Amino acid sequence: MRLGIKRQGKATENFLRQQRFVNDVSHELRTPLTIIRGYVDILERYGAQDSELFREAVTSIKKSAQNMQSLVESLLFLARADQGRQPLNMAPVELDELLKKFVEDFASTRVQITKLAPCKIMADAEFFKQMLTAFLDNALRYSPPDTPVKVELTAAASEAKLKFIDKGIGISKEDCGKIFDRFYRTDKARTKLNGGESSVGLGLSVAKWIADRHDIEIAVKSKLGEGSTFTLTIPTI
């Protein structure tokens, strides 16, 4: 009997989670689809004669399509991950070299490597870089455009510490525990981005999955209005 109630509770929980998920996805798709519909209607009505309007429409439609694409890619990634269909190719990696090259390719003048200790880890380099992208994108996105984002790599006997330090909007104590949940975004972040940039609240969920597969621990230290530091503790070989 007890087991029956427990099972029922689990089924209800799964149902509610699924319902919330469908609700979140629908909500995230609604905005870009509304923008696309709106601009297509305008183009239909006024034609392509107005070159400025035409350019604005094409830019917005393209951006909305990109947002939908990145949402769908993150969802597919998490679906494969949930079903255990996301294999990793682990191999020894010189983390300092990977990081240096990664930041060079990232090509943002705001990103500064302030410490770079040599160290070696076991990693799937492609997934690892995807995880780095999530932290770096956020650090840049949620801080003023004229502030630097620092990246520090230090190494001790059996672990390395990789830090992403920004002087941005910060995260409240309460939110720190929730930002890795799927679709979670803080109110501060919503206000800052104000619909302009793509943000669906899945980047850190994907990053956390990759971190877990690498036995990486993530710690967040942040103060509202002052900035955030994400520290990854990574086992070395």
CB of 83 to ligand ADP, least distance (A): 21
Please give the Cα distance from 175 to 86 (Å, whole number).
29
Asked if 199 interacts with ligand ADP (CB under 6 A), we say: yes
CB of 101 to ligand ADP, least distance (A): 23
Residue with smallest beta-carbon separation from ligand ADP: 203
Among 103, 151, 179, 216, binds ligand ADP (CB under 6 A): 179
Asked if 186 interacts with ligand ADP (CB under 6 A), we say: yes
Asked if 74 interacts with ligand ADP (CB under 6 A), we say: no
Among 115, 185, 213, 221, binds ligand ADP (CB under 6 A): 185
Q: Which residues contact 37 (CB under 8 A, 6 or more apart)?
A: none
Among 119, 202, 210, 211, binds ligand ADP (CB under 6 A): 202
Among 168, 210, 214, 232, binds ligand ADP (CB under 6 A): 168
Asked if 139 interacts with ligand ADP (CB under 6 A), we say: yes
Q: Which stretch binds ligand ADP (CB under 6 A): 53-61, 106-114, 124-132, 178-186?
A: 178-186
Of 32 and 203, the one with the shorter C-beta distance to ligand ADP is 203
Asked if 67 interacts with ligand ADP (CB under 6 A), we say: no
Q: Are 99 and 118 in contact (CB under 8 A)?
A: no
Asked if 142 interacts with ligand ADP (CB under 6 A), we say: yes
Please give the Cα distance from 88 to 126 (Å, whole number).
9
CB of 10 to ligand ADP, least distance (A): 26
Asked if 209 interacts with ligand ADP (CB under 6 A), we say: no
Q: Are 33 and 63 in contact (CB under 8 A)?
A: no
Please give the Cα distance from 53 to 147 (Å, whole number).
34
Count of residues in contact with ligand ADP, rule CB under 6 A: 22
